[in-house]
Amino acid sequence: MRKILLQAGALAILATSCSREKYAELNTDPDVLTNIQVDPKNLFPTAAIAIHGNDFEAYYDIHRNIQYWIGAWVPLGGNGAVITRFKTPISASGNPYCFENLYSRETMGAGGAMKELRNIISKMPADKQGEYAHMGAISHIPMVLAAFQISDITGSIAYSEAFQARYTSPPMLTPKYDPQEQLFAALDAELKAAVAELKKPIAGEAKRLGGSDLWFHGVGDEPTNWIKAANSLRMRIAMRQLKRKPNEAKAIILDVLADNVGPIDSRAANWVFKGGIGVANGGNYGLAAGLSGQKASIDFMYKTTDPRIRNLYRKVALTQADFNTYKANGTIAAGEVYQEYRGRYTSPEAVGEADKRFYFNYIFGSTAYVSYIQDQLFNSAVSSGRVNYPVITYADVCFMRAELAARGVTTEDAKLWYERGIEASLADYDQWGKDANVTGYTALEPAEVTAYKNQADIVYNPAKGIEQICIQQYFQLYRNPMECWAHIKRTGYPSQTGVVFQAEKIRSGGTEAIMPRRWSIFVPPITDFNYENRKQSVLDMQKDPEFGDLTDITGRVWWDKK
C-alpha cells in the first residue's frame, strides 16, 4: 500500500472530530481521504480543459505549424519566413504539445483524471457504484479521444499499461508502448464497451455529470449524448484504417450505423467545446500578424458564394476605386480582377514574383490587397464572445456517411448525406461566427443555403462525388485543424489535380515543399526512465518502410498507408 503523508488534507477530517485511528488510516491509504472528499464528477472537467485549453498546443502545434500546412493561413510577407515549419515540427520536449493533453496537462491530463474518476467509483460501496456506472462509462470516451489524437501523429504510445503507477505496488513506471494497429483496436473496443454500459438501466438514482460536463453541459439525455459521441468517434477511427484493414474498418462502421442510437444525428448533438476568453490563453496563444487565407480556398468559396466565407475571413479593405487606381499605376498586376474576398498564394516563391508580390505587402498605408482571417473565430484572446472547438459535429458525420456511401463501403445515399452535411456546416459556421462576435457578423438566410447548393460546382455529381464531399469536409474542419490535417492525408483532397478544387503547388527554393504527414520521432536519451520500451517502439515503427527516417516528417505512421 502506498505510504504518503496527508496532513494538509487530513486536517479537514480532523476538524470534524476525526479519531487518532482515522488519522492513521488516512496516512496509510490515501484512497480513504479521496473517497470522503471527492465527488468523481468534479474530475471530469479536467479532461475537457486538458484537451482544449493547452496554450502551448494552440501556439506551437496548431498556430505555428498545422494551420499553415493545411492551407488555412498565410502570413503577412508570405510563407518564406515560416517554410521551415513545413519541415521541422518539433517542440522543446521532442513531442507535440498535444502529448500533454493525455498525460500531464492540468497535472493529470485527460488520461490520469479519467482513470482516477473510475478509481474513486471503484472504492465506493457496491450499491453506490451502480449509481455511478454511466459516469464511469462516459469517462472512457474523452480518454480515448486524447489517446487517438496523439497516436494519430506519432504512432505508438503508452496506453494499456499507462496511468497505473499510483494504483500498483510496486508502481508501474515503465509501461509498454502499444503499436498503433493494436491501439486502434483497443480504443474501438473501449468505446464499444462504454456504449454498452451506457445503455444499461441503473437501479436507483443515476448520478449525472450535469454542469461538470463541459462539452454537453447536462443538456438533453446525458447517456444518449455520449453514446452518439462514442459511436461517431468509432467511425472516425475506423475510417483511418480503411487502407490498412478495410474489412475490419467496414465492420466497425456498419456496426455503428446499425446501432439503435447510432452516431451524432443532429446539430443539437454536436460534440463541441465552447471556450471563453481565458481558454488556451496562457501567454502563448497569439496569432501572427496580418494572417489571410490561401488564395485557392478563398477563390473557390467566393466563386461558389459560400456563406461560410464571411465568418472565416473579413472583406478586403481595398475598395473598387482603390483597386482601379493601383491597377492603373502598375502596383497591382494588369490581369487581376477585383473581389470582395481575396487570399494569398501559399508558395514562398510567390513573394518574389512580379505578378504576385503585391499580395504580400500593403498597397498603401496599412491597406492590404487580401482578406484577413476573422481572428475572433480562432483566438479566444481577442474574441469578445465564445470560441467553438468542435470535436465531432453532425456535419462531420454527414460527410463521413456521404463519403462511405460514395466509396461503396455502405449502401446509403451519398447525395442525401452530402447535402445534409452542407446544410449543417453552413449552420455551424453561422453559429460559430455569432458566438465569437466576428467582425460584420450577418445571420445566415435560408435563401443563401439554397443558392449555394445550386451552384454548378456544388450540385452533387457522382462522377466527382468523392472529391465534392471531401472538399466540403475540408472546409468544415478548418475549426478542427488536427482533424483537417488528417483528412487531407487520408483522402488526398484538396489535390493539385482536383476537378472540383485545385490545390496550389507549394514551391520553395525551386523545389516542391511536401506537406508533413507526422511529427518528428526521437530515440529517447538513455537516462529516460522508460528508455527500453520507448526505444523498442521506435525500432518497431521503423520496420515499416513507409515510416521513413525518424525526423523525416513526410514519413507515415501505420494508418497513413500510401
Q: For residue 8, name the pLDDT band (cuts at 50, 70, 90).
A: very low
C-alpha triplet 312, 317, 318: angle, nearest 5°:
130
Span of 274-278, 379-383, 401-405, 537-541 with lowest mean pLDDT: 379-383
Q: What is the mean pLDDT of the chain?
A: 90
Q: For residue 30, name the pLDDT band (cuts at 50, 70, 90).
A: low
pLDDT at 381 over 80: no
Query: Cα–Cα distance between 145 and 108 in angstroms, integer?
Result: 15
pLDDT average, residue stretch 180-185:
98
| 18-28 per-position pLDDT tens digit | 455 554 454 55
pLDDT at 10: 33
Tell whether omega for the bond before 125 is within 30 degrees of 0, i.e. cis.
no
pLDDT at 326 over 70: yes
Q: Say if residues 426 and 308 touch (Cβ distance below 8 Å).
A: yes
For residue 107, the one-letter residue type is T
Backbone φ and ψ of 286, nearest 5° = -60, 140
pLDDT average, residue stretch 442-466:
98
pLDDT at 262 over 60: yes
pLDDT average, residue stretch 403-424:
98
C-alpha cell at 381: 484572446
**Portion of the chain with pLDDT greater than 90, in percent:** 74
Q: For residue 235, name the pLDDT band (cuts at 50, 70, 90).
A: very high
Q: For residue 190, name the pLDDT band (cuts at 50, 70, 90).
A: very high
Span of 200-209, 380-389, 449-458, 504-513 with lowest mean pLDDT: 380-389
Query: Cα–Cα distance between 516 and 555 in angstroms, integer?
Result: 8
Q: Say if residues 486 and 240 touch (Cβ distance below 8 Å).
A: yes
Q: pTM of the predicted model, to two decimals? A: 0.92
pLDDT at 12: 35
Query: Cα–Cα distance between 223 and 210 in angstroms, integer?
Result: 11
Which residue did the predictor score with more confidence, 336 or 33? 336
Query: Cα–Cα distance between 236 and 325 in angstroms, integer?
Result: 51
Long-range contacts from 538-542, C-beta under 8 angstroms, 24+ separation:
538/156, 540/156, 540/179, 541/155, 541/156, 541/179
For residue 396, the one-letter residue type is D
Sign of the CA dihedral running 371, 372, 373, 374: negative
pLDDT at 233: 99
pLDDT at 518 over 50: yes
Domains, the chain, in order of start with CATH, read: 37-263 (1.25.40.390), 304-512 (1.20.120.840)
Burial code (b: 16+ CB inside 10 Å, e: under 16) for 167-183 equals eeeeeeeebbbbbbeeb
pLDDT at 384: 76
pLDDT at 32: 53
